[in-house]
């Protein structure tokens, strides 16, 4: 038996090498069926590969498995990041709309205009955590060791994550260079319309509202969705110094068909006090059962054209302005800075899978999640560095090469070194020193806050029996 098993090992080794090199298609099809447990049989068994002919079956089983591991946490991070950013902004928008007296529906339109801006940051984070959590699961369940043992390199395992990355890069290019500038302008336009009253801003109940710089209006109560106003006071002045003070029990706003810029405030059961502004003349008092007070709506200026800020320019406009001799120097600097900022943000996504793999694999016999925390800090910190570089370069204080491409080269070099340590150095760890320090700190904190066990009581001396 010993000799037979000894002779079988070279044959099995040759079969694994042939399958890993792709020279034996039959063995390669059965290769994923490594384990003997039911979970491994169902996940990697031949029935999962042969099955019914389907377009999805053209993808190798190992790539399909990695795709499932990556896509679920990636979509989860997308949903979580979008929800957190949207909810935070929603509360502030509701307060803003309530103060300005606008309709509630505009809040959701403004949130929709901000989604492309949030997505440009959520996409890299979602891709990072999706790949990181997928490879972390493979590493902690020893599946990654099995794949590596049969000759699957990290470069081969990253094939599907990079296909996903290409799709995300294409989506991010469309967002950053085209959709986000237009949606940002649309958001600014809605905010301006809300402040100016073009979106139907209402008169606030219980407060004085100035209309057209010559009328002050106050309403005590509003009923029937604003169609019935109770307790009205109005003060109207003209250029000659004459002042009308009007109080009425109730009233309502009416529109006019001949002049859309004028509305009628129909008052019921009130009093008018007219002050001519002349010294020695007694103000006249008039009681009325119904009185129509015309109100001229303030003229609303048209919103500015798109392009007041460089972040509102799309890609062709940035290229035309940044490399044109007719453009003003300050505007040219801002356009070049904005173009380089968007470009490095997109190119950084090609490094995300390498960073995720480098930080996903914990030390042996460890389930440390330090890499997850460090990966998020690195990506967010690099994004903030690029934002600072854009602010400085747009003012002409720093060359875009120094502001953007020097940090990009340093960041890329760090990621490539970390990936090389994990993929090509036996037993290498990208953050091994940090993992060791973190493990010691965790043990120290655990001992500090751990539950102390009571000391075991010593043997109780028994009294000697009396003689």
Lowest model confidence (mean pLDDT) among 28-37, 328-337, 359-368 = 28-37
Residues 319 and 261 grouped into a single domain: no
Residues 166 and 252 grouped into a single domain: no
**305: helix, strand or coil:** coil
For residue 378, give its domain range: 310-448
State the average pLDDT over residues 115-137: 92
Calpha distance 261→195 (Å, rounded): 18
Residue 459 is assigned to a structural domain of this protein: no
Residue 154 is assigned to a structural domain of this protein: yes
Backbone angles phi, psi at 289, to 5 degrees: -95, -30
The residue among 415, 297, 429 whose CA lies nearest residue 361 is 429
Calpha distance 266→255 (Å, rounded): 10
Calpha distance 385→407 (Å, rounded): 8
The residue among 79, 126, 165 whose CA lies nearest residue 349 is 165
pLDDT at position 3 is 43
pLDDT at position 274 is 86
Most confident range, picked from 39-43, 88-92, 220-224, 353-357 = 353-357
pLDDT band at residue 350 under the 50/70/90 scheme: very high
pLDDT at position 46 is 45
Residues 280 and 141 grouped into a single domain: no
Burial label, 216 (beta-carbon count in 10 A; 0-12, 13-18, 19+): middle
pLDDT at position 68 is 93
Residues 274 and 320 grouped into a single domain: no
List the beta bridge partners of residue 285.
273
Residues 26 and 160 grouped into a single domain: yes
Residue 1 is assigned to a structural domain of this protein: no
State the average pLDDT over residues 409-414: 96
Residue 204 is assigned to a structural domain of this protein: no
pLDDT at position 41 is 45
Residue 251 is assigned to a structural domain of this protein: yes
Summarised one tens digit per residue, pLDDT across range 191-241 is: 887 776 655 555 667 777 777 667 888 888 877 766 788 888 888 888 777
Summarize the chain as % helix, strand, coil (round to 5): 60, 15, 25
Summarised one tens digit per residue, pLDDT across range 40-60 is: 444 444 444 444 456 667 888
State the average pLDDT over residues 285-294: 88
Calpha distance 252→234 (Å, rounded): 13
Alpha-helical regions (H) of 296-431: 315-322, 329-347, 352-360, 370-394, 400, 406-424
Q: Provide the number of structural domains found in the chain.
A: 3
Calpha distance 82→282 (Å, rounded): 65
Residue 283 is assigned to a structural domain of this protein: yes
pLDDT at position 298 is 64
pLDDT at position 405 is 96
Last residue of a domain, one of 296, 320, 342: 296
Residues 94 and 188 grouped into a single domain: yes
Average pLDDT of the chain, as a whole number: 79
Lowest model confidence (mean pLDDT) among 11-25, 223-237, 292-306, 314-328 = 11-25
Total Cβ atoms within 10 A of residue 131:
30
Calpha distance 138→66 (Å, rounded): 9
Helix or strand run (H / E) with residue 228: strand 228-237
Residues 329 and 426 grouped into a single domain: yes
Residues 69 and 149 grouped into a single domain: yes
Residues 252 and 167 grouped into a single domain: no
Total Cβ atoms within 10 A of residue 417:
11
Residue 454 is assigned to a structural domain of this protein: no
pLDDT at position 456 is 52
Calpha distance 249→356 (Å, rounded): 70
Residues 422 and 373 grouped into a single domain: yes
Decide: 128 and 371 in contact? Cβ < 8 Å.
Answer: no
pLDDT at position 6 is 42
Last residue of a domain, one of 254, 272, 296: 296
Residues 391 and 424 grouped into a single domain: yes
The answer for residues whose C-beta is within 8 angstroms of residue 45's C-beta and 6 or more apart is 32, 33
pLDDT band at residue 336 under the 50/70/90 scheme: very high
Residue 78 is assigned to a structural domain of this protein: yes
Would the pLDDT of 2 be above 60?
no
Summarised one tens digit per residue, pLDDT across range 239-278 is: 777 888 889 999 888 877 777 677 888 889 999 888 877 7
Residues 25 and 110 grouped into a single domain: yes
């Amino acid at each position: 038996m010993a000799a037979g098993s000894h002779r079988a090992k070279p044959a099995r080794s040759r079969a694994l090498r042939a399958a890993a090199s792709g020279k034996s298609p039959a063995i390669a099809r059965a290769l994923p069926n490594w384990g003997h447990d039911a979970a491994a049989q169902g996940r990697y068994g031949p029935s999962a590969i042969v099955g019914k002919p389907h377009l999805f079956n053209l993808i190798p089983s190992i790539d399909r498995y990695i795709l499932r591991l990556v896509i679920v946490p990636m979509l989860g991070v997308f949903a979580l990041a979008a929800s957190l950013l949207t909810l935070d902004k929603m509360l502030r928008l509701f307060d803003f709309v309530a103060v300005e007296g606008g309709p509630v529906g505009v809040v959701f339109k403004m949130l929709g205009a901000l989604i492309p801006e949030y997505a440009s940051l959520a996409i890299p984070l979602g891709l990072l955590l999706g790949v990181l959590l997928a490879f972390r699961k493979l590493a902690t369940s020893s599946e990654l060791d099995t794949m590596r043992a049969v000759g699957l390199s990290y470069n081969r395992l990253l094939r599907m994550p990079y296909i996903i990355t290409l799709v995300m890069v294409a989506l991010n290019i469309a967002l950053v260079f085209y959709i986000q500038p237009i949606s940002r302008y649309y958001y600014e336009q809605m905010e301006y319309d809300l402040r100016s009253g073009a979106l139907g801003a209402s008169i606030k109940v219980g407060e004085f509202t100035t209309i057209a710089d010559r009328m002050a209006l106050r309403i005590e109560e509003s009923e029937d969705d604003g169609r019935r106003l109770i307790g009205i006071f109005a003060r109207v002045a003209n250029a000659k110094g004459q002042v009308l003070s009007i109080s009425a029990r109730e009233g309502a706003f009416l529109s006019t068909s001949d002049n859309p810029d004028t509305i009628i405030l129909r008052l019921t059961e009130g009093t008018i006090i007219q002050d001519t502004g002349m010294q020695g003349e007694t103000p006249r008092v008039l009681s009325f059962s119904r009185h129509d007070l015309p109100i001229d709506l303030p003229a609303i200026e048209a919103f500015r054209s798109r392009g007041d800020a460089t972040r509102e320019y799309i890609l062709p406009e940035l290229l035309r302005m940044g490399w044109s001799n007719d453009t003003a120097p300050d505007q040219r600097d801002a356009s070049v800075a904005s173009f380089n900022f968007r470009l490095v943000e997109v190119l950084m996504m090609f490094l995300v899978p390498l960073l995720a793999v480098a930080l996903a694999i914990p030390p042996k016999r460890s389930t440390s999640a330090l890499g997850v925390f460090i990966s998020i800090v690195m990506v967010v910190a690099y994004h903030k560095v690029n934002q600072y570089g854009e602010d400085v370069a747009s003012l002409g204080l720093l060359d875009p090469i120094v502001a953007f491409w020097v940090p990009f080269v340093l960041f890329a070099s760090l990621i490539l070194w970390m990936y090389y340590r994990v993929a090509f150095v036996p037993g290498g760890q990208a953050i091994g020193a940090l993992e060791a320090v973190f493990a010691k700190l965790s043990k120290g904190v655990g001992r500090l806050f751990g539950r102390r066990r009571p000391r075991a009581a010593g043997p109780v001396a028994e009294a000697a029996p009396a003689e």
